[in-house]
Structure 1
Amino acid sequence: MRALTIRQPWAGAIAHQTKRVENRTWKLPAKHEGARILIHAGAQLDRDAKVYGPHLGVYGAVVAIATIIGCHFDNGNQVCCSYWAQPGLYHWTLADVVALPEPVPAKGALGFWTPSDDTLVTVEAQLKETVS
């Protein structure tokens, strides 16, 4: 399973609110469409963000898991797919988002990255607890 680092407050908005679109300057590689990914809260805050909440206290940790179900480009000519969508960017559509009960510390990276075995084991154990 791969992971994607997203700056706060956006990682928290995916995990704990209704954000189901990740805005990116690059098109989703076809091999990742339909994939389950870990949502990793990056080590830095997006200083231009105007969203606040308790989830902002989490940095440098996996906070959720999601499925990427599609990608499209927003040319800005019409209202697009979501309140969270930004014009002029690719929108990666997320579904089946599950917030982890406890953040799992991990060092992120740019683009898709492979979490350590320890991180995956900890995430999977938490997911089993949420289903039980």
Structure 2
Amino acid sequence: MKALTIKQPWAGAIAHQTKRVENRSWKLPAKHEGTRILIHAGAERDRYAVVYGEHFDVYSAVVAIATITGCHYSDDGRCCGPWGDEVAYHWTLTDVVALPEPVPAKGRLGIWTPDAELVAAVEAQFAKATS
């Protein structure tokens, strides 16, 4: 299983709201399309984020699991509703399951491989979320 670190409030919006696209400056490697991925809330907040409603104060922890179903480039961002950025690759997400309790972890840039202990802790939370 792989993981992706995303700054808050975006990781929380994926886990607990309706954000189903992750904006990136780089194209999703084809080998990751269709795979389950851990959504990791990074240690820092996106200082440019303007969010209405609920704020998410969980940092440095896995907060959800999702499936990456595709990737496309957009010049104007309109294809993915309010979540799509202009001039960005949009990674589409489905089957998002928020973990009942965030699992603390140090993240990394890019797509990274969590250790077995972290995967086991996330799987235990996932089992609680889906039972």
Query: Would you say same fold, with TM above 0.5?
Result: yes
Change in Cα spacing, 1:55 to 1:118, as seen in structure 2 (3 Å) is farther
2:99 corresponds in structure 1 to 100
Instruction: Give distance in 2, aligned partners of 1:53 and 1:100.
Output: 20
Instruction: Give distance in 2, aligned partners of 1:114 and 1:40.
Output: 12
1:63 corresponds in structure 2 to 63
Q: Which 4+ stretches in 1 moved above 4 angstroms? A: 52-55
Q: Percent identity, aligned pairs only?
A: 69
User: What SS does the corresponding residue of 1:56 show, helix, strand or coil?
Assistant: coil
Which residue identity is paired with 1:89? A
1:79-115 residue CA offsets vs partner (Å, 9 max, x unmatched): 3122100110000000000000000000000001111
Structure 1 residues 1-132: aligned runs within 5 Å = 1-51=1-51, 55-76=55-76, 79-132=78-131
Structure 2: gaps of 5 or more residues: none
Instruction: Give distance in 2, aligned partners of 1:75 and 1:11.
Output: 23
User: What SS does the corresponding residue of 1:119 show, helix, strand or coil?
Assistant: helix
User: What SS does the corresponding residue of 2:19 show, helix, strand or coil?
Assistant: coil
Instruction: Give distance in 2, aligned partners of 1:47 and 1:126.
Output: 29
Instruction: Report the TM-score when normalising by structure 2.
Output: 0.95
Quick check: 117-126 or 40-49, which moved more?
A: 117-126
Instruction: Give distance in 2, aligned partners of 1:55 and 1:105.
Output: 19
Instruction: Report the TM-score when normalising by structure 1.
Output: 0.94
